[in-house]
Amino acid sequence: MNGQLDLSGKLIIKAQLGEDIRRIPIHNEDITYDELVLMMQRVFRGKLLSNDEVTIKYKDEDGDLITIFDSSDLSFAIQCSRILKLTLFVNGQPRPLESSQVKYLRRELIELRNKVNRLLDSLEPPGEPGP
């Protein structure tokens, strides 16, 4: 079998949460929506909590993101493609901020604060102390 896995006929789920993408082979295509949510909580352990409100969407043949609301939506999505590309949205947010994004935003906000302070300082008349 030359080291290749036989994935013919198997369903592959590619799930994305933020920048993190996971590939999951599925052996039982009769998976329910609730089982899918539990699977996503296990796969993204630490990033996805059991009390998070999760919206799961799949990419259709046109590249549009279609919401999976229940098990019938999920079975329809599975019928459309052998590789199901899912995107997870947590608590209404498109994705959690990665630490590099947080650092970048922090730097930008500090720079903005410094510019505002310089502008305020330049508006004070000379010789008068600020408030």
For 14-26, what is each residue's pLDDT tens digit? 999 888 899 999 8
Measured distance CA(26)–CA(7) in Å, rounded: 10
Q: Residue 124 has what pLDDT?
A: 78
Q: Residue 35 has what pLDDT?
A: 92
* CB neighbour list of residue 12: distance below 8 Å, 6 or more residues apart: 23, 24, 25, 26, 82, 83, 84
Is the pLDDT reported for residue 43 higher than 70? yes
Top-confidence residue, 106 or 112 = 112
Is the pLDDT reported for residue 33 higher than 80? yes
* pTM, to two decimals: 0.62
Per DSSP, 64 falls in state: -
For 48-102, what is each residue's pLDDT tens digit? 877 888 899 998 888 888 999 999 999 999 888 888 999 998 877 665 555 676 7
